[in-house]
Amino acid sequence: MPERILVTGAGGFIGHHLVGRLKADGFWVRGVDIKYPEYETSVADEFEILDLRRFDNCLVATRNVHQVYNLAADMGGIGYITAFLARISCNNTLINAHMLEASRLNGVKRFLFSSSACVYAQRKQKSAEVTPLKEEDAYPAEPEPGYGWEKLYAEELCRYFGNDYNLETRIVRFHNVYGPLGTYDGGREKAPAAICRKVAQAPDGGEIEVWGDGLQTRSFMYVEDCVEGLVRIMHSDYCEALNLGTDRLVTVNDLVHLVCGIAGKRLRKRFDISRPQGVRGRNSDNTRLREVLGWEPSVPLEFGLTITYKWIESELLKKACTQTAEAA
């Protein structure tokens, strides 16, 4: 009898990819989200539309499962998470608290919480040449307003449920996940998807807008690496927070250059420093990840961006063809 697994946020980018991986590994999977996956049908054994801000729905979602990957969250790129602090904080606090309590009451054996690098102290991220962030750098606390504070508190809540109720919890701090089947427009997209979209839409020799001065730095992890890491961390015996990301630091300008190369375009950059930029630099220290798992993300940025760009380009072409047909 295969283990029964719940993936919340299964209508979203990482959750959808995770469901596919777990099914390929032979598990029975229930997907839950407030929406269905946007770009392809889920392969989950069951997919239920539930608003997990409601406790009764969390009880329904966690029935008769052994493991929970709690990826459900109200989130998006830097423009989104800096614009809706109260809404994001309230929504995610409700989801996480209710999911932990429902999992406890329904006898879930193991619960994985998807946290974020936004929990890290902002004072350690003021330089583009940032020192890679170790897990202990989240304290003394000074996380990203709203989203970061909510994630950091939920990490503590996981520890409390482990200590008070013996609920096995795992905590994963994501560092900038990208790949195909993710949001690439509408305001919630992350930097790699936004840049891929802008480059795809620009004519060769044209111009694209870049938020900030382009010198801010990040590391980026391909979604297949992310899913592999999630599965490995869930199956590990480690219950403290772990970074999950790459430790290759690149500027936003580097990212634009790579995508332009993939597209075969020469484009000018127009910088808008009035736009949200987030911290000046952020990178993952993978020392503890390697110690715990004997593994770390390894998909090269150039490879992952090529797949991502081609997928976004194809989606834009589909939309353009649909609009042309509707106008005819």
The stretch 128-154 carries a mean pLDDT of: 97
Q: What is the pLDDT of residue 325?
A: 73
| Residue 129 pLDDT greater than 70, yes or no | yes
How high does pLDDT run on average in the chain?
Answer: 96
Q: Give a yes or no: residue 187 inside a domain.
A: no
d(CA 249, CA 218): 6
Residue 279 lies in a domain: no
The count of other CB atoms within 10 Å of the CB of residue 164 is: 9
- 326 burial level (CB within 10 Å; 0-12, 13-18, 19+): exposed
User: Residue 186 falls within a domain, yes or no?
Assistant: no
Catalytic choice (80, 120, 147, 309): 147
Per-residue pLDDT, 323 = 79
Residue 1 has pLDDT above 80, yes or no: no
Residue 237 lies in a domain: yes
The DSSP string of 252-298 is HHHHHHHHHHHHT---EEEEETTS---SSB--B--HHHHHHHS----
Q: Among all chains, which residue has been given the structure tokens 């072409």?
A: 317
d(CA 278, CA 185): 19
Q: Is the dihedral of CA 72, 77, 80, 85 positive or negative?
A: positive
Q: Binning pLDDT at 50, 70 and 90, where does residue 324 land?
A: confident
pTM of this structure: 0.96
Q: Judge whether 44 lies within some domain.
A: yes
Rounded Cα gap, residues 140 and 182, in angstroms: 33
Cis peptide before 297 (omega within 30 of 0): no
Annotation says 139 is catalytic: no
Q: How far apart are CA 183 and CA 13, in angstroms?
A: 7
Which residue range(s) make up the domain with 230? 4-178+221-244
CA distances from 3 to 66, 100, 251 (A): 6, 19, 42
State the first-to-last Cα distance of the chain, in angstroms, to the nearest integer. Answer: 54
Question: Is residue 256 situated within a structural domain?
Answer: no
Residue 285 clears pLDDT 70, i.e. is over it: yes
- On whether residue 68 sits in a domain, the answer given is yes
- Decide if 214 is inside a domain: no
Residues of the chain with pLDDT > 70: what percent? Answer: 99
Count the domains in the chain: 1
CA 222 to chain centre: 10
Which pLDDT value is given to residue 328?
65
Summarised one tens digit per residue, pLDDT across range 219-232 is 999 999 999 999 99
Instruction: Write the CATH number for 163.
Output: 3.40.50.720
